[in-house]
Amino acid sequence: MKRLKIGVLALQGAVSEHVEALEKVMKKLGLEGEVVLVRKKEDLSDISGLVIPGGESTTINRLMLKIGIREKIIKLAKGRLPILGTCAGAILLAKKGDEQVKRTGTILLGLMKMKVLRNAYGRQVNSFEVDVKIPELGSKSFRTVFIRAPVIEKVWGKTKVWAKHKNKIIGAKKDNVLALTFHPELTNDLRIHEYFIKTILKVPTS
């Protein structure tokens, strides 16, 4: 099996938590490989998967454009590279954003046919945690952490609902790309990172 090399976009946001979670899962599954920080185009070479973390979508977008990796990420995704986007990462994966997104001038990656609502739950003080049943993860609930979180208003085409809370879409999936409006890296539950790594393992390598 090819040695894993999982990238975490390290321009801004909750980077170290994703790195730690991915390393723990790789160790648990007995997999050889490494987790690398992606700060320039060259860091995307030969990666097996990519995490776009939570943070500030406007800032991450601006920095992606500045270092010239936006088009490379789109190309890799279209080549079936598994990608996990959380919170701000989910916003960036979307095809459409609400007026808040438009006002910031954020240029979305457009990899998933979905519309996102930025800061749908309000400000930082409105952050919350809740147990959610996610069918793909089994019968045990997953503790979801929402911090200035977006909501996925709707999905269409090949993009499908992956998780919901109170009739709001909090997770969507399209082929190799998974978008979550919450922060799985801020819990001790590694099931989502394990799900992502197992997605990587299923992708044929050339």
Catalytic residue among 17, 56, 185, 194: 185
Catalytic residue among 18, 56, 87, 194: 87
d(CA 171, CA 159) in angstroms, rounded, equals 10
Residue 34 among the catalytic residues: no
Residue 183 among the catalytic residues: yes
d(CA 71, CA 116) in angstroms, rounded, equals 21
d(CA 129, CA 176) in angstroms, rounded, equals 27
Catalytic residue among 165, 183, 193, 194: 183
Residue 185 among the catalytic residues: yes
CB neighbour burial string for 178-194, b if at least 16 within 10 angstroms, e if fewer: bbbbbbbbbbebbbbbb
Structure-token match 């090949």, residue found: 158
Work out the angle at residue 9's Cα, subtended by the Cα atoms of residues 93 and 169, and round it to the nearest 5 degrees. Answer: 30
Q: Are 147 and 120 in contact (CB under 8 A)?
A: no
H-helix segments, the chain: 15-28, 57-67, 70-78, 88-93, 99-104, 191-202
Which residue numbers are catalytic? 87, 183, 185
